[in-house]
Structure formats: structure tokens, C-alpha cells
């Protein structure tokens, strides 16, 4: 663990070439489409304080093993929000985890998944955010343990662990399956909670979506592959109902951090998109829960 952290800090001193996005200028954002993209990304859950917080004005405390994060204000306020950001700035934040000044974001902001969002989706989302009310709301600084509080250590983390390959549709699968794969692995960032992680927070890709004992707020997150302990005996309808109204096959309701995923994301999707997610989940390689 110590050696790994030393490596991370050493790597942090390497300079990284600036990123280029030749495709970014070609597209213009559609705010109405962007409002839907916001739902597919579940951004509201982290960027709005649960009770009485101004929409997307940040300040929500997110407790993790590494300390407490306070989500930033992503309204168009020029001083305390992201007013004045270009589309390129916004694309770079979501796909590379890099701020307009070149600082590296912590992966609590799930850009590790948003890296798979299309440029069009991101630009539409930006156009929608630009249309929301600018709210002046300075948020507290993160309260993190050493060495994570050194933001530079994230340069090393990103070099080693950030897979920012764009989403690649699988031509042997249906359009519906590909849409489901996109929503789950990209904007929906389901694996950020449902996949197991190692000690420095890196997702175990071989066991993706098979559940994680130490999820948000220290609570267990279930296996959503069709393997033992997972959702193998759920019908398509069972999955769709869980995503739409949060109801489980036994009549119970989903709780914990999934409540907000249903409220802010999956309940707001079209029926076709919920079915696409169910199609993708039922097609996954079955993995047994790791107890």
C-alpha cells in the first residue's frame, strides 16, 4: 500500500500533454435533450443537497473511505458555479476528470464512467445546465485524509487507472442491447456502486456489477449480474419495475442510495431505456456474489 502511494505521488510529477477534442466544435447543444441526459447521468443525486438545497448548487457531503467530499456547484453562476465554462472545458471534466485549470478530479465524481458518454450527450447536457438558474452557493472544501488530500496524487491515479476509452458499440448485439450497455456503463455509472473495488478504490473489472460490501455510507450493494446471489431469477418485468418505481419482486421497496438512483435517474427514463437496461443486465456473464 505504501509503495503504491509513493508511486502515485511520483507519477503525479509527470507532465501530461494537453488533450484535443476535434469533434467538440462540430456539435451544438440541445437543452431539451440535455435535460434527459441529466437524468441518465443521475447528476442531481450528488450535486443537490437532499433537503431544501438549490437545484444543482452543490454542497452535498459525500462520505467515503478517504474522507468527506462536498459536491461542487454546477449551476451557471460565474463565481461559485461553472458559468463561463466552454463546451471543451465541460467535456474534459466529464471524460478526462480534468478541470479547466488542469487540476485532476477525484473519482468520487464518476468520470471513470462518464468517460464513455458521447460528446453529443455531454454538449446537450451542458446546454441544459446553461439554461438552469445561476445560484450563488460557495461549497465547503473537501475534508480528506493524507495522502488523498493532495490533489496532485490524482494525476498518478488517473495515469494508472483511468480507462477513458469511449463507448464502443458491439455490432453483434441489437441496438437495444447497445443502448442498455451505454446507459449502464456510461452515464448511469451503475458499476460505481455495484462493482467491487480494491483498497485504493479501483473497480475490479472482471467482477463488474457483482456487488460490493463497502458501498456508499459503508453499506453493501447487491450483485446485479444473473449469477448466484444476483438477479438471475428476476424477469425482465421485475427489473423494469425496480428501475421505474423501486419495487422489488417480493413487494418490498429499494432503499439506501438506490432510492436516489430511482428518483433522479431510472424513474425518469423512457420505458424503452429501462427495457434496454434490463436487456443488458440479463445478458451479463453470471458472477456469484463474493461473500
Rounded distance between C-alpha atoms, residue 5 and residue 16, angstroms: 19
Q: How far is the CB of 94 from ligand HEC (least distance, A)?
A: 6
CA distances from 153 to 102, 111, 143, 165 (A): 13, 16, 15, 22
Bond before 286 cis per omega within 30 degrees: no
Per CB under 6 A, which region of 21-29, 108-116, 155-163, 168-176 contacts ligand HEC? Answer: 108-116
Nearest CA to 4 out of 109, 118, 159 is that of 159
Cα–Cα–Cα angle for 153, 57, 55, rounded to 5 degrees: 135
Rounded distance between C-alpha atoms, residue 191 and residue 112, angstroms: 10
Q: How many CA atoms lie within 13 A of 4 on its CB side?
A: 11
Q: Which of residues 14-43 bind ligand HEC (CB under 6 A)?
A: 41-43
Q: How far is the CB of 26 from ligand HEC (least distance, A)?
A: 21
Q: Which is nearer to ligand HEC, 257 or 283 (CB)?
A: 257
CA-atom Rg of the chain in angstroms: 19
Nearest CA to 144 out of 92, 201, 192, 187 is that of 201
Cα–Cα–Cα angle for 51, 151, 218, rounded to 5 degrees: 45
Q: Which residue has the cell 439506501?
A: 256
Q: How far is the CB of 239 from ligand HEC (least distance, A)?
A: 6
Q: Which is nearer to ligand HEC, 168 or 222 (CB)?
A: 222
Q: How far is the CB of 8 from ligand HEC (least distance, A)?
A: 15
Does 74 help bind ligand HEC (rule: CB under 6 A)?
yes
Rounded distance between C-alpha atoms, residue 214 and residue 205, angstroms: 16
Does 166 help bind ligand HEC (rule: CB under 6 A)?
no
Q: Which of 109, 128, 157, 212 binds ligand HEC (CB under 6 A)?
A: 109
Q: Which is nearer to ligand HEC, 96 or 194 (CB)?
A: 194
CA distances from 243 to 51, 56, 102, 265, 273 (A): 23, 23, 37, 9, 10
Q: Which is nearer to ligand HEC, 173 or 267 (CB)?
A: 267
Q: Which of 68, 120, 241, 257 binds ligand HEC (CB under 6 A)?
A: 257
Q: Which of 10, 160, 245, 248 binds ligand HEC (CB under 6 A)?
A: 248
Q: How far is the CB of 173 from ligand HEC (least distance, A)?
A: 17
| Structure-block grid coordinates of residue 260 | 436516489
Q: Which is nearer to ligand HEC, 3 or 125 (CB)?
A: 125
Q: Which of residues 182-221 bind ligand HEC (CB under 6 A)?
A: 184, 187-190, 192-194, 215-216, 219, 221
Q: Which of 29, 36, 59, 71 binds ligand HEC (CB under 6 A)?
A: 71
Binding site for ligand HEC (CB under 6 A): 41-43, 45-47, 62, 69, 71-72, 74, 82, 93, 99, 105-106, 108-110, 114, 125, 184, 187-190, 192-194, 215-216, 219, 221-222, 224, 231, 239, 242, 248, 254-258, 261, 265-266, 277
Amino acid at each position: 500500500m505504501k509503495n503504491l502511494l509513493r508511486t502515485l505521488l511520483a507519477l503525479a510529477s509527470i507532465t501530461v500533454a494537453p488533450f484535443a477534442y476535434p469533434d467538440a466544435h462540430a456539435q451544438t447543444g440541445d437543452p431539451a435533450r440535455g435535460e434527459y441526459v441529466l437524468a441518465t447521468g443521475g447528476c442531481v443525486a450528488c450535486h443537490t443537497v437532499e433537503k431544501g438545497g438549490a437545484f444543482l448548487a452543490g454542497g452535498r457531503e459525500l462520505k467515503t473511505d478517504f474522507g468527506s467530499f462536498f459536491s461542487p456547484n454546477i449551476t451557471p453562476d460565474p463565481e461559485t458555479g461553472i458559468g463561463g465554462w466552454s463546451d471543451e472545458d465541460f467535456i474534459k471534466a466529464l471524460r478526462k476528470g480534468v478541470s479547466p485549470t488542469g487540476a485532476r478530479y477525484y473519482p468520487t465524481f464518476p468520470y471513470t464512467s462518464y468517460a464513455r458518454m458521447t460528446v453529443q450527450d455531454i454538449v446537450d447536457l451542458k446546454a441544459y445546465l446553461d439554461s438552469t438558474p445561476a445560484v450563488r452557493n460557495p461549497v465547503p472544501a473537501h475534508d480528506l485524509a493524507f495522502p488523498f488530500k493532495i490533489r496532485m496524487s490524482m494525476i498518478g491515479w488517473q495515469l494508472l487507472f483511468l480507462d477513458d476509452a469511449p463507448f464502443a458499440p458491439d455490432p453483434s448485439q441489437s441496438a437495444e442491447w447497445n443502448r442498455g450497455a451505454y446507459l449502464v456503463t456510461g452515464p448511469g455509472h451503475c458499476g460505481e456502486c455495484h462493482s467491487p473495488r480494491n483498497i485504493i478504490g479501483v473497480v475490479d473489472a472482471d467482477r463488474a456489477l457483482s456487488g460490493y460490501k463497502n458501498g456508499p455510507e459503508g453499506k453493501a450493494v447487491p450483485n446485479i449480474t444473473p449469477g448466484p446471489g444476483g438477479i438471475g431469477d428476476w424477469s425482465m418485468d421485475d427489473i423494469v419495475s425496480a428501475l421505474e418505481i423501486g419495487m422489488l419482486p417480493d413487494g418490498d421497496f429499494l432503499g439506501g442510495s438506490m432510492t436516489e438512483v430511482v428518483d433522479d435517474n431510472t424513474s425518469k427514463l423512457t420505458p424503452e431505456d429501462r427495457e434496454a437496461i434490463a436487456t443488458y443486465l440479463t445478458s451479463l456473464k453470471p458472477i456469484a456474489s463474493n461473500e
